[in-house]
Amino acid sequence: MDPYLLVEDLRVSFATAGGTVRAVDGVSFAVERGRTLGVVGESGSGKSATALAILGLHDPRRATVTGEITVAGRRLVGRPEAEVRRLRGRNLAMIFQDPLSALHPYYPVGRQVAEAYRVHHPRAGRAEVRGRVVETLGRVGIPEPERRYGQYPHEYSGGMRQRAMIAMALVNDPDLLIADEPTTALDVTVQAQILDLLADVQAEFHTAIVLITHDLGVVGQIADDVLVMYAGRAVEQGSVERVLRRPQHPYTWGLLSSVPSLHGDADADLTPIPGHPPSLIDVPAGCAFHPRCRYAGQTGGRCHAELPELRPAGAAGHRVACHLCAEDRTRHHAADVTRAEAAR
Ligand code: SF4
């Protein structure tokens, strides 16, 4: 099956007074209809810049976007803005992280969802639009959608606002949904409900989903494939089953050891990755992760000098960018897990 979304060698950079920010630096992936790709990393890893590039939302006066983005067989990079906008509305939709900043506080929620529908159905009559919006509010689990139509965002709970955002994204039946940290601000129960809702939508409409998150636990719950990003580059990618069971990159190990749900003990003392992600203006030479990696001294200086390329890591589609050999990665990961368990 041809992928619905194909991203090839995507690069996004911004010229700033302090230098060029390389937010995305040569990332490639594919997503088929009915599948979910989790894009994971800390803030500043380039995951949100990747999502905005797919949606054609970078300001061309500020950002330079190169590479190829193909949606339903149509190339997007370099296309006129009007054409991208048309495609975006009908085929692509985004669920933003913060519904309060994406929903206008002074307009009823139903009216805002109706506006999203009207942009792509300019000839639809009032009754049709209202009916469609009420149906969509109901579809995303908002109770009494007729009554809720006229309420304002502040009259919705946090979980309901996130559902309203999802309604706005779904009202035009998009084939591709980009969800940027859709559950970050929600408590665990509501988070699980929203993830279930996305899974239901996908099962019903065969939607392709790109889920941007910092949380590998969320990826484990909903995604089929995962792309781990660090400093604008892919450091590991593959099926969720494979990457979560046999992670190959020291950065992925660090992300995993800070996920409570994957260890089954929400109160466990978790091990965050020491240090901070680098500035994207001044990315360390060699492997960008080397200042934070406990194994950087074990490759004869390569980690400090040579950029590791993504290479196959044993199973079909599983790839990793690390200079350690496969045996060393297996050994170090086993020691890493033992250390993390001893610390709990
Ligand atoms: Fe660590 Fe070196 Fe692998 Fe980078 S290439 S993750 S610094 S061992």
63 lines ligand 1 (CB under 6 A): no
Calpha distance 161→113 (Å, rounded): 12
pLDDT value of position 262: 54
Which pLDDT score is estimated for 261?
53
Ligand 1 near 296 CB (within 6 A): yes
Helices (H), the chain: 47-54, 81-91, 99-102, 109-120, 126-139, 145-149, 158-170, 188-205, 216-222, 240-245, 250-257, 260-263, 302-305, 326-343
8-state DSSP, 232: T
Distance separating alpha carbons of residues 301 and 311, to the nearest angstrom: 19
pTM of the entire predicted model: 0.91
What confidence score (pLDDT) does residue 263 get?
A: 47
Ligand 1 center to 224 CA (angstroms): 26
The pLDDT tens digits of the residues spanning 186-229 come to 778 888 888 888 898 899 889 999 999 988 989 999 999 999 99
CA of residue 46 to ligand 1 center, whole Å: 19
Which position has the higher pLDDT, 96 or 310? 310
- Our answer on whether the CB atom of 295 is closer than 6 Å to any ligand 1 atom is yes
Does 107 have pLDDT greater than 60? yes
Is residue 216 within 8 A of residue 262, CB to CB? The reply is yes
Q: Express each pLDDT in 114-173 by its tens digit.
A: 999 998 898 999 999 999 999 999 988 899 999 999 999 999 998 899 889 989 988 988
pLDDT of residue 264: 47
331-344 confidence digits (pLDDT tens): 988 888 887 777 76
Which residue has the least CA distance to atom 7 on ligand 1?
290
CA of 296 to the centre of ligand 1 (A): 5
**Ligand 1 pocket mutation pick from 290, 292, 327, 330 by most atoms within 8 angstroms of CB:** 290
Residue 69: pLDDT over 70: yes
> Which residue's CA is the closest to the ligand 1 atom numbered 3?
322
Q: Ligand 1 within 6 A of 320 CB?
A: no
The predicted model gives 107-113 an average pLDDT of 96
With a cut of 70, say whether residue 113 has pLDDT above it: yes
Tell me 105's DSSP state: T
By alpha-carbon position, which residue is closest to atom 5 of ligand 1?
322
- Residue 284 CA to ligand 1 center (angstroms) comes to 12
Q: For 242-263, what is the mean pLDDT?
A: 84
Burial of 18: CB neighbours in 10 Å, binned 0-12, 13-18, 19+:
exposed
